[in-house]
Amino acid sequence: MCGRSMTFQAPPWPKMAGIRLARPFPNLTFMASRAPTGEFAAPPVAGTAAFSKFMAVLQLVADLDEPTTIGDLAKRSGYPRTTVYRIVAALVAEGMLRENPRNGTLSLGPRLMQLASRSWARSDLRLAAIEALKELRDLTGETVHLAVPNGNTMVYIEKLESISAVRMASRIGTAVSMHSTAVGKAYLAALPAESRERLLPRLDLPRYTEHTVQDLDVLRRQIETFARQGWSVDEEENEAGIYCFGGAIRDPRGEPLAAVSISTLRFRQKQDKQAAYIRPLLEACRTIERRIAETPAFDSVREP
């Protein structure tokens, strides 16, 4: 089948308020191909361009904080509007995107969330960490996050809400910057010095609050301090009014593969709770590391 053009019959046209074509969306044509066995770093093969466009559109929707439109997706992606029409129609039909019947805006669909939820629920790392995370949340009364590196960002794979009425904007599946978060800084601080120096210049340093560090030299010195003390802090750098403390989780080889954070409101720091947070945070990280070491077939989520 390598190199052959294959036509896939589209599923029945969904009832969509914001996407109307003159006829059911046309059949989508892809170039089918087979990647070399066991080799994922092979040169691009025919057919991957179409798949990459689908993934790019999904990623755009996922990265936006609010529902979006086809016009906005076309503008952001640079793809022709007709191409985006076809991609969105197929993704909606498969449940990967959801279209609001009232205004035609698009958001992530139930099928995608179901797949992600199952992946996270079955994650060896999450399973190894969940009990320690619950204990940490119950002990501190604060929101607890578990995050893993993904390229130049950290992705939350677990979040346990504070027992108080206060709720944070973060959610499972969200990708956050390394330079502005406690989980990101804890991960950077735990990296070997050479690996850290390779990664730091590649980071984007967007400003999220007036406290966000955007100077690379300042960030480097900050990370070096965190490396010496063994934990990190985010002082309203990612979200106004929120302080976070982070600790790294290492695999049996001693390499960082994830990070845990405790998030609290700024005014609570007046009660000098920092000292009360750090010890249980680091104990939770060590407990998770022991659970990982005891898992024979632990599937590390750390990038190769």
pLDDT bin (cut points 50, 70, 90) of residue 118 is: low
The single-letter DSSP state of residue 39 is -
- Phi-psi region at 254: left, alpha or beta (left = phi > 0; alpha = psi -120 to 50): left
**Is the pLDDT reported for residue 265 higher than 70?**
yes
**Is the pLDDT reported for residue 123 higher than 90?**
no
Paired with 245 in beta bridges are: 233, 262
Most confidently predicted of 49-53, 116-120, 167-171, 273-277: 49-53
Q: How far apart are CA 193 and CA 187, in angstroms?
A: 12
Most confidently predicted of 9-13, 106-110, 200-204: 200-204
**Is the pLDDT reported for residue 24 higher than 60?**
no
Most confidently predicted of 46-60, 214-228, 241-255: 214-228
- For residues 86-117, one letter each, b for 16 or more C-beta atoms within 10 angstroms of the residue's C-beta and e for the rest, the string is bbbbbbbbebbbbbeeeeebbbbbeebbeeee
Question: pLDDT of 201-238, one tens digit each?
Answer: 999 999 999 999 999 999 999 999 999 999 999 999 99
Q: How far apart are CA 145 and CA 160, in angstroms?
A: 7
Biggest alpha carbon–alpha carbon distance for the chain: 67
Q: Which residue has the higher pLDDT, 173 or 243?
A: 243
- The pLDDT score that the predictor gives to residue 186 is 98
Q: Average pLDDT of 266-280?
A: 72
**Is the pLDDT reported for residue 83 higher than 50?**
yes
Structural domains in the chain plus CATH codes: 5-109 (1.10.10.10), 123-293 (3.30.450.40)
